Chains A and B, each alone.
Chain A
Amino acid sequence: RKEVEQDPGPFNVPEGATVAFNCTYSNSASQSFFWYRQDCRKEPKLLMSVYSSGNEDGRFTAQLNRASQYISLLIRDSKLSDSATYLCVVPGGSYIPTFGRGTSLIVHP
C-alpha cells in the first residue's frame, strides 16, 4: 500500500453540490493530517488541519477515521471558486510530511 493515496478524479460537480474526497494512509502512527488546496500552476496553501476526530470551517469539514486509516474532506454548497486540486498530507516514515497526488475538483455552473 502506498503511504498516501488519493483518487485523482476529476470530480465534476454543479454549483451547490456537496462533494467528498477521501485520502488513505498507511502509517498508523500518524497523528496530524492536513488538507491543502492548489490552484493551477500555483503553490499549495493550507485549507484545513485535522488533529483528532475532525474539523469544520464554514462549508468545509475534514474528518479522520483512525480505524480505517483515512481522512476525508467534505465540501458543501460548492462554488465555482472551489475548483482546484486538493492535496492531503500525512506524516510518513521518519515523520516527514508526505503528500498525496491530489484530487482534482471542477465545479461548473
Chain B
Amino acid sequence: NAGVTQTPKFQVLKTGQSMTLQCAQDMNHNSMYWYRQDPGMGLRLIYYSASEGTTDKGEVPNGYNVSRLNKREFSLRLESAAPSQTSVYFCASSDGTLVSNEQFFGPGTRLTVL
C-alpha cells in the first residue's frame, strides 16, 4: 500500500497563476483533509471532506477550492496564487468520524509563489 500520495512534491508559481494539488489514498478511508503548514503556525486546516460527495471549509479556506473526485482522491486548487500561499501543503485521510481516528499524512507539497 502506498498510503497517501501527493503530487507534485515541489512547485514554484508566479503570482496570479493557478494550479491543482493532487492527493490520493488507497486505504479506503472516508475522511480526507488539506492542511497548510507555515513556520511557527503549526498545521491549519484548509478544507476537509468527511465522506465522498461532501466538502467543508476549515480554518483558512480563502483562496482555495477543493474537489472530492471519488473516495480515493481529494484535490486542492489555487485559482490565482498569491505570495501568502507560499507554504507546505499536506493532505491526510482517516477512517470513520472526523476526530476519533488517526490521520495518515502524505509527504507534502512545497509551494513557493513569487
Interfacial residues, chain A to chain B (CB-CB below 8 A): 8, 31-32, 34, 42-46, 49, 87, 89, 91, 95-102
Give CA–CA (A101, B41) in the complex, Å: 6
Give CA–CA (A95, B100) in the complex, Å: 9
Contact of A8 with B99 in the complex, beta carbons under 8 Å: no
Contact of A100 with B42 in the complex, beta carbons under 8 Å: yes
Given contacts A42-B107, A96-B48, contact A102 B102 (CB under 8 A): no
Chain B positions 85 through 108: 1 when the CB is less than 8 Å from some CB of chain A, otherwise 0: 000001000000111101101111
User: Using a Cβ–Cβ cut-off of 8 Å, how many residues does chain B contribute to the interface with A?
Assistant: 22
B12 at the interface (CB under 8 A from A): no
B114 at the interface (CB under 8 A from A): no
Contact of A102 with B108 in the complex, beta carbons under 8 Å: no
Contacts between the two chains (Cβ within 8 Å), count:
51
Contact of B42 with A97 in the complex, beta carbons under 8 Å: no
Contact of B42 with A99 in the complex, beta carbons under 8 Å: yes
Q: Across the two chains, which residue of chain B brings its CB closest to A46?
A: B102
Interfacial residues, chain B to chain A (CB-CB below 8 A): 33, 35, 40-45, 48, 58-59, 90, 97-100, 102-103, 105-108
Contact of B45 with A87 in the complex, beta carbons under 8 Å: no
Task: Point out the residues of chain B lying under 8 angstroms from A42, CB to CB.
Answer: 107-108
Contact of A87 with B42 in the complex, beta carbons under 8 Å: yes
Contact of A96 with B40 in the complex, beta carbons under 8 Å: no
Given contacts A91-B99, A95-B98, A97-B99, contact A43 B42 (CB under 8 A): no
Q: Across the two chains, which residue of chain A brings its CB closest to B40?
A: A101
The residue from A31, A43, A95, A99 contacting B108, defined by CB atoms under 8 A apart: A43
Give CA–CA (A91, B108) in the complex, Å: 23
Task: Point out the residues of chain A lying under 8 angstroms from B103, CB to CB.
Answer: 44, 46, 89, 97
Give CA–CA (A102, B102) in the complex, Å: 17
Q: Which 3 A-B pairs have the closest CB atoms?
A: A101-B42, A43-B105, A91-B99
